[in-house]
């Protein structure tokens, strides 16, 4: 357990595991926040889902810009754009899978690279 992990009560984890699992599906982190406001476990995963949503949105906008640049300025831009998007979507799917696994297992472990950012207080 590292300094960004959180310890939660076993009863809290069992009661809010389904709600926390929803946090990693796009835009459902807000549902997790609304339904699990009194749960440290649910709020931790709502925070992780919100950070993932924001990072995915910013990187998605960057990917769109890069796609337009590649399509306009590179003679064989379409295959490169497809490869970039497939890479982005596979990394995003991996992060969603990791988060779903953490919530389903009932652990409060941070997501790799982005898990230390805290936007929602859970204390």
* 119 assigned to some structural domain: no
Q: Is 93 part of a structural domain of the chain?
A: yes
Residue 110 inside a domain? The answer is no
Tell me whether residue 5 is in a domain: no
Q: Determine the structural domain holding residue 68 and report its residue range.
A: 10-105
Question: Is residue 33 situated within a structural domain?
Answer: yes
For residue 15, being part of any structural domain is answered with yes
pLDDT in tens, 63-122: 999 888 888 888 888 888 889 899 999 999 999 999 999 999 999 999 999 999 999 987
The pLDDT assigned to 25 comes to 94
- The verdict on residue 43 lying in a domain is yes
Residue 20 tokens read as: 């926390």
Nearest-CA neighbor of 7 among 46, 32, 42, 41?
41
pTM of the model: 0.90
Cα(51)–Cα(48) distance, rounded to whole angstroms?
A: 5
In a domain, 77, yes or no: yes
**Rounded distance between C-alpha atoms, residue 2 and residue 116, angstroms:** 10
Average pLDDT, the chain: 92
Tally the domains of the chain: 1
Count of residues in the chain: 123
């Amino acid at each position: 357990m590292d300094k960004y992990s959180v310890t939660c009560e076993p009863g809290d984890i069992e009661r809010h595991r389904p709600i926390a699992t929803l946090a990693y599906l796009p835009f459902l982190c807000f549902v997790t926040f609304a339904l699990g406001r009194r749960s440290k476990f649910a709020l931790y995963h709502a925070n992780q889902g919100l950070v993932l949503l924001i990072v995915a949105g910013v990187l998605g906008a960057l990917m769109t810009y890069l796609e337009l640049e590649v399509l306009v300025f590179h003679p064989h831009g379409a295959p490169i754009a497809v490869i970039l998007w497939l890479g982005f979507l596979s990394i995003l799917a991996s992060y969603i899978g990791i988060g779903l696994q953490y919530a389903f297992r009932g652990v409060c472990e941070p997501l790799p690279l982005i898990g230390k950012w805290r936007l929602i207080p859970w204390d």
